[in-house]
Chain A
Amino acid sequence: MIPGPFTYHRPESVQEAVRLLGELGEEARPLAGGHSLIPMMKLRLATPEHLIDLHGIGDLKGISREGDHIVIRAMTTQHELLASDLIAASLPILHETALLIADPQVRYCGTIGGNVANGDPGNDMPGLMLTLDATYELQGPEGRRSVAAREFYQGAYFTALEPGEILTAVSVPVPPAGHGYAYEKLKRKIGDYATAAAAVVLTMDGGTVATCAIGLTNLSETALLAEEAAKAVIGTSLDDAALKRAADAARAIMAPAGDGRGPAEYRIHVGGIMVERALKRAAARIRAA
């Protein structure tokens, strides 16, 4: 449980961080909250020779509204998300989800950028970003570019991030006022990854679902956007049959591994239940409003 030797760098600008990453090549890794990388280093499953700590870069901090988007800079911690009035008012599902990530100590350090950029299927934010149709701002040696979250995830720990690139911000379109939302997460205990989790954002029009997006966490190699499941409820009043169709459509794309949280069969089963429950709770929020 002791990492191997490495050189520590603390750049003060994104440009400097990108330059260091470019110069040091494959043996360099950017360090955000460290909650994935440092445990891997302690087990020596990751042995980077250079750590580029992003904590000294002021430009990577902060939450702001830019037009109809909320822009969350990458080094914003989960705790800062929870403390943000802007998030609570505009993206309440982000607030709800951040509260379900690990425990307060982890949330003081863990960042949104690290959470979405690492490509860990167990992380909660990627599924949410798929649901919300967020865009990731990347900066690399070739300059800046934007990639839709829905295009970003390629496999477990494989993403569209090119070598030398840093994810600098997450840009989330603000859902319409009065939308319904819910993040249902089944976990064994505080601090655990999801056994299965589902994110739902929907709008309703006269008692039926007008728009709906559903994201799934830890039910495949990457977070999933359950498009067929969402289609199954649009135009319905979320009656039991529609809920069941949505759950079954979501289950059809799940491919989790069996682990200590249960065999794949169980995780798929409860994955569907999380979808049903998230849909019901999202709709209930609208009806209660």
Chain B
Amino acid sequence: MNDMTLTREQREARLEGMGCKRKRVEDIRFTQGKGQYVDDVKLPGMLHGDFVRSPYPHARIKSISTEKALKVPGVLAVLTAETLKTVNLAWMPTLAGDVQMVLADGKVLFQNQEVAFVVATDRYAADDGINAVEVEYEQLAVLVDPFKAMDADAPVLREDIKDKTDGAHGPRKHYNHIFEWTVGDKDLTDAAFRKAEVTIKEMISYHRTHPSPLETCQCLCAFDKVKGELTIYGTFQAPHVIRTVVSLIAKLPEQKIHVIAPDIGGGFGNKVGAYPGYICAAVASIVTGKPVKWVEDRIENLTATSFARDYHMTTEIAATKEGKVTGLRVHVLADHGAFDACADPSKWPAGFFNIVTGSYDFPVAHLAVDGVYTNKAPGGVAYRCSFRVTEAAYCIERAMDILARKLGMDPAELRLKNFVRPEQFPYHSALGWEYDSGDYHTAMKKALESVKYAELRKEQAAKREAFRRGETREIMGIGISFFTEIVGAGPSKNCDILGIAMFDSCEIRLHPTGSGIARVGTKSQGQGHETTWAQIIASEIGIPADDIMVEEGNTDTAPYGLGTYGSRSTPVAGAAIAMAARKIKAKAQMIAAYKLEVHEDDLEWDIDGFRVKGLPEKFLGMKDICWIAYNAPPPGLEPGLEAVSYYDPPNMTYPFGAYICVMDIDVDTGVYKVRRFYALDDCGTRINPMIIEGQVHGGLTEAFAIAMGQEIRYDEAGNVMTGSFMDFFLPTAVETPHWETDFTVTPSPHHPIGAKGVGESPNVGGVPCFSNAVNDAYSFLGATHIQMPHDFWRNWKAAKELGAV
């Protein structure tokens, strides 16, 4: 049935396999409003739950009265910590080894903390009920500044653990201390600094922000009392992990829990963790016997579910006069808010922040991270980055610029001088990682040539002179960043979540007529898995991508996987998909050998089937093999054509890239214009260049937002000031710059198809690039380091402080 009248190119094109700019198949439903999101799921008799939240950042709860609320028409139940205690769920474990209140137990620790959960027949009645719950608070001293968390007279935040001297990650130094995490050789590093010809030291802050997906966090829990089964529809980036965690927490047998993550409207790390809303909706369903839906509103999303960043990084580099780096020393003060609800692999309290040596060959380095509690919302999720990798990239890329300035060197030249060289791969970093592959010099040089870097510097010099002469009030900045990501968590030897190893999985089932279904343990939130997964299979086994349906998110049907975040889907599940496909191909080869009456070794693969070596007319296509596999398999071979693969990666993958930004800033208003942004990404083998480009556009847009204004800001009294998109900067198409994208290809040597992952690279590399552009603009006025975010008023303030206004 294989159409041999087609040319090889036509057969190849028909597959729409790897390398093809295949249009996203999921967009057919998304662009027609036919996506199915959690809030679209409606079950008979469904109730709605909503939270009473604390107006205070730190207060003791003297009393909660639900009496009036229960009289509100439509209100059926009000859960409080006391109710949850009867089922032992007033507190829940966090992914970081801490515990977190589900509903305020005795006190509240951040503004908008969940205090009571009102369950009613509709959302209006639930909100009426919220307003009728009476809570009496006694305000307590508030801790906002993480630098004051470990003061002797700091308020005690966590009374539940105030006397515990050991935490999940070792000894605690203070009642508001969570952990200290150290990596590297302190003595050797200190020695390098003693010998250093040049050193820099700067406190580089990466402010608190929020992933803010357009669809907020939500779930719908339905407990079937007769069967004893709990079905949960939710916005879950990792549905299987949710199933296991629910089973462990709620003591329900895992086979009786059905977790379904339908279409998701963006995650960016916000939908990895477990939130009080999930627990309350599940308990409310068990209590009422009816399905209970919980849907966050925007204010709740921004102020209560997981924030990102809030790292304060004191960074030192030792170097020679010629600009060769000899040592790196970083201390991080990490503000985790009221509970350590960081979503990192369990043994990594600061994620993979030890990638902080970046793309540079530091002979020695030492890192210490102190996590502290404050009266802010809990979290610390990886917002469009692998775990704490964007913090690390920001830290080293700012610090390299600061060093370049101190040395009087061009920042590009300093980077080229210190890059890990191609022949050093696999490269062992001073802080313990094994970089798989890279060619940094080629990427950097291509970037510099593409933007005509030397000419830009000349233009900048002329503009600076014009500024000095008073002819313009505009200053020009050129930002460079060169990042190395670490993605694809992860190898079971160093990664797990609450003991669950971080493999991923794929099951492929081919149908007799030559099509098939692939089920994968990941969960797309917009990444386009339905499109790209099918492309991998198309290239591997010669079935057109259009004939492969991809399904994710239903734990009853998908094989167990750890979900989608940290750019892990392609590095881990992408590998599982290729390996499952290869198992199928191996069986197909046995079938082809039998039908073509040759030994298997006499066959060669040719685009979409097997051919007898040297006999081009003797060919059996995969479509035919599918039919034969079911209906006429070789004697002794069981029928069917399907395979499952679970992939435990041998190493992480290390995508990298070179970004350059050109920015003009009006010093009188602080208004900036991004004139140019060039992004070169090397994500190894490229599966779908169009989707990669889309990912880069999205990640750069978020990076732009973060660097140039997006923040979660608290006032001195602990009130959160950025609860809506009026004040939380989410750029529209008008503000978003034009992006120029480019690439090099350095495949991962250990990944079956050489792919590395790309979704988060642009955020990791983008943030330092924008910030370096701003800092570069002001450097001739004497600036060393200006903290993010670089919004208009802060740019003006910087100019003012430098005497330019």
Contact = CB atoms under 8 A, between A and B. Distances in A.
Interface stretch (B349-357, B577-585, B719-727): B719-727
Contacts of B128: 4-5
B668 A273 contact: yes
A1 B723 CA distance: 12
B36 interface: no
Nearest to B127: A2
Contacts of A190: 732, 734-735
B123 interface: yes
A188 B722 contact: no
Given A4-B131, A188-B709, A189-B735, A261 B299 contact: no
Given A1-B297, A2-B124, A189-B735, A273 B669 contact: yes
A206 interface: no
Quick one: which of A2, A262, A269 has the most chain B CB within 10 A? A2
Interface residues of B, number: 32
A92 to B, nearest CB: 22
A186 B671 contact: yes
Nearest to A266: B793
Interface string A175-212: 00000000000101111110100000000000000000
Nearest to B123: A2
Contacts of A188: 709, 729, 791-792
B732 A44 contact: no
Give the 5 A-B CB pairs with smallest separation, nearest first. A262-B793, A2-B127, A1-B297, A260-B727, A266-B793
A155 interface: no
Interface of A: 1-2, 4-5, 44, 103, 186, 188-193, 195, 259-263, 266, 269-270, 273
B713 interface: yes
Contacts of B50: 2
Contact of A270 (B124, B669, B731): B669
What secondary structure prevails in chain B residues at the interface with A? loop
Contacts of B796: 262, 266, 269-270
Given A260-B721, A260-B722, A266 B732 contact: no
Nearest to B125: A2
Interface string B658-687: 000000000011110000000000000000
Contacts of A273: 668-669
Nearest to A263: B793
A195 B671 CA distance: 12
B791 A191 contact: no
Contacts, number: 62
B55 to A, nearest CB: 13
Nearest to B735: A189
Given A1-B297, A5-B128, A186 B732 contact: no
Given A4-B131, A192-B726, 18 more contacts: A103-B732, A188-B791, A188-B792, A189-B731, A189-B735, A191-B725, A195-B792, A195-B793, A259-B727, A260-B727, A261-B793, A262-B792, A262-B793, A266-B670, A266-B793, A266-B796, A269-B796, A270-B669
Nearest to A122: B726
B72 to A, nearest CB: 11
B21 interface: no
B595 interface: no
Nearest to A39: B724
What secondary structure prevails in chain A residues at the interface with B? loop
Contacts of A262: 792-793, 796
Contacts of B324: none
A261 B123 CA distance: 33
A186 B792 contact: yes
B729 A189 contact: yes
A189 B732 contact: yes
B11 interface: no
B127 A191 contact: no
A169 B669 CA distance: 36
B298 A1 contact: yes
A195 B124 CA distance: 35
A216 B512 CA distance: 73
A195 B297 CA distance: 27
A191 B726 CA distance: 8
B574 to A, nearest CB: 36
Contacts of A5: 124, 128
A195 B729 CA distance: 14
Contacts of A44: 127, 131
Contacts of A103: 732
Quick one: which of A5, A195, A260, A270 has the most chain B CB within 10 A? A260
B797 interface: yes
A5 B299 CA distance: 21
A120 B429 CA distance: 57
B640 to A, nearest CB: 52
Contacts of B722: 260
A193 B725 CA distance: 12
25 contacts: A2-B124, A2-B126, A2-B127, A4-B127, A4-B128, A5-B128, A44-B127, A188-B791, A189-B731, A189-B735, A191-B725, A191-B726, A192-B726, A260-B713, A260-B722, A260-B727, A262-B792, A262-B793, A262-B796, A266-B670, A266-B796, A266-B797, A270-B668, A270-B669, A273-B669
Interface string B761-805: 000000000000000000000000000000111001100000001
A83 to B, nearest CB: 21
Contacts of B671: 186
A186 B726 CA distance: 15
Contacts of B734: 189-190
Interface string B287-300: 00000000001110
A278 to B, nearest CB: 13
Nearest to B805: A269
A123 to B, nearest CB: 14
A178 B792 CA distance: 35
A193 B726 CA distance: 9
A99 to B, nearest CB: 12
Nearest to B797: A266
Quick one: which of B668, B669, B731, B732 has the most chain A CB within 10 A? B669
Nearest to B732: A190
Contacts of B127: 1-2, 4, 44
Contact of A1 (B299, B721, B726, B792): B299
A84 to B, nearest CB: 24
A259 B723 CA distance: 13
A186 B793 contact: no
